[in-house]
Amino acid sequence: MAPARPKTRPARRRPAFLEQLSEAYNLRRKSVVQLTGDVHGLFWSSARQDFVGLEALLHAELGPKFNLVRMDVASGVTFFDEATEAEVIRICESPDGKEVPRSRDRLMKNLIERSKHSPLAALVLLHGMIDGSHRARAAGETAKPICAVLQYAGALFPAGDFARLSELDRQRLVQFLHWVADPSFLEGPDLLLLINPVKSEINGKITALPATAHIEIQLPQIDERRSFVEHYRQRHPGLRFEGGRERFVRDSAGLTLANVKDLLEVAWRSKSMVGRDDVVREVNRLLEAELGEVIRIKYPQHGPEDVIGQQATGEIFRAIFARCDDAETAVSAILVSGPNGGGKTYQLEAYAAASGRVVVELAGIRGALFGETDKLFELLRWHIATFGKILILVDEAHTAFGSIHAGDVHKTERRLAGNIIKMMGDPAFLGKVLWGLMTSRPDELDPDIKSRSPIQVPIFDLEGDERTAFVAEMFRRKRMPLPPPELEQVVAATDYYSARDYRNLVAEVLAARRQQPEITVTEVLERWQASRSIGRERQLQTLIAAMHCSYPQLLPAPLRAMTESELAARVEQLKLSLAR
């Protein structure tokens, strides 16, 4: 019998950011490196043959070449191991380069202990250690350079001009700027790593230094997630996944490996299957923790087959998503307009799901970003880059974004609109990211944002036979088929209803039949009807949608017969009427 073939293990690569760090230090001679992004994640360490945290990885990878020292605003100066602490004290305090007098050893350890909760003192101490290492090397001693890992650098050097910083914050920043501008430091081999989740929280004066480089640690890509899951399964055989392991690997886009491990741990300990809903909840929990309720991942459970009517619109949506799979034919954004309740979101989600795109919903961004615009956009861009091909849905886009042109717009809102425009125009996202801007008032959308939507699709209320078929199908799906005479009466009585109104009507009938099983739809309509209060508003929205249309064949016959000037005149009349 042939010997059993050994199981193949997935290739595990050195984290990409370590290669970038090596390039910044060795080739570009950067002495200060900001590490942002997935700073709380797990990474493969070939030295440990395991997935470890960032500090453990830095210790394993850089420890042989540097004396690693750690610092933060709470713990002060600490060391990764006792051997490194003893070596640093020897370099700084030994008169002969070999032995450290007890008095000096005690003094140094007292200074280290007193650096706790005293970030300025800790910074001065760290500066002294690196100066001591520099002097030792200048005297001919063998001494590894120091690599200082400054955790939570945003708390140590918060963003802001000098005038906006507290006195202690200013002192720390000036101390640091003076230190890293010193030629003896710049020409030496020592390295400072400033670690923080987002770059925008670290003072911009440090970012602007010629000696500073920035490296963003990306969230794990699909091959890294696959490798981690396989590594975990080798130690926990029998772990089961709803829809299969590969489906889990795809759905977990947007999670750190630490988050993925949490999901696997819970399933393993509870002897349950890793559910898809668990993954979606964890992705959204993480996004909400970092971005509030600005962004939400959705996996629509409906598809094009669930959309009733709107065949011409459906063909256009299919064609749009197909062309956006290729960067050469892709567009950055599409504008979907029409009156309230027409089903814009439902249809766009359906065709996005059918195309295999992840649906990302962007909401409440205007209010959430006041005072945090740069930080939240940095996080937003970082998360978006992790997913595969996505559709970013923005409902009521005309209220979601400010304008870069209006004179009365706050500068923060202007920056918000500028960031959105910049993201839409980023060539790196073309084909990968499609923005779906949905609005009932496209005329109020910023022109620069609108211009990035070369495809404009209006969605109108169904009319004639399509409306009748829509109503019949709505009730049939709820096992309440309408006989032709009643169907005709219902359609006549609801000629102003939107798709949303019909969904509400179906709900009313279902509720009524729980009390009176034999009640008819027409009887329900005698005691309940959709409000007519926004009739003129919906009429205005319909006309404006007709003016924002890339496909004339989608226009209802009465609108198609109107000239552009007639449409514009009618829009202005309704605006004046509604303004009274």
Residues in Cβ contact with 276 at an 8 Å cutoff, skipping those fewer than 6 apart: 242, 243, 247, 248, 251, 299
Sign of CA dihedral 447, 542, 360, 553: negative
Whole-angstrom distance, CA of residue 85 vs CA of residue 68: 9
CB 415 within 8 A of CB 373: yes
Q: Which CATH superfamily is domain 16-217 in?
A: P-loop containing nucleotide triphosphate hydrolases (3.40.50.300)
For the chain, the domains span 16-217, 227-290, 298-458, 460-580
What are 214's strand-pairing partners?
34
Query: Rounded distance, CA 350 to CA 184, Å?
Result: 62
pLDDT of residue 296: 82
Whose tokens are 């926004």? That residue is 534
- Per-residue pLDDT at 5 exceeds 60: no
- pLDDT at res. 4: 42
What is the CB neighbour count within 10 angstroms for residue 407? 5
Check if 16-217 and 298-458 are the same fold. Answer: yes
Looking at per-residue pLDDT, the higher value among 377 and 414 belongs to 377
What CATH architecture is 298-458? 3-Layer(aba) Sandwich (3.40)
Convert the pLDDT of each residue in 274-300 to its tens digit: 888 888 888 888 877 777 767 788 888
Average pLDDT over residues 242-258: 90
The 10s digit of each residue's pLDDT in 166-214 is 999 999 999 999 999 999 999 999 999 999 999 989 999 999 999 999 9
Beta-carbon neighbour count of residue 77 at 10 Å?
23
Over residues 390-395, the mean pLDDT reads: 89
- Phi, psi values for residue 435, rounded to 5°: -90, 130
pLDDT tens, residue by residue, 449-472: 888 899 999 999 999 999 999 999
517 pLDDT tier (thresholds 50, 70, 90): very high
How many CB atoms lie under 10 A from the CB of residue 67? 24
Tokens of 396: 């009521």
| Element containing residue 405 per DSSP (H, E) | none
| C-beta contacts of 274-278 below 8 A and 24+ residues apart | 274/239, 274/240, 274/241, 274/242, 274/248, 275/242, 276/242, 276/243, 276/247, 276/248, 276/251
pLDDT digits (tens, 9 = 90+) for 340-362: 999 999 999 999 989 988 888 88
Task: With cut-offs at 50, 70 and 90, classify the pLDDT of residue 11.
Answer: low
540: left (phi over 0), alpha (psi -120 to 50) or beta: alpha
What pTM does this model have? 0.77
pLDDT of residue 93 exceeding 90, the answer is: no
Cα atoms in the Cβ-side hemisphere of radius 13 Å centred on 548: 32
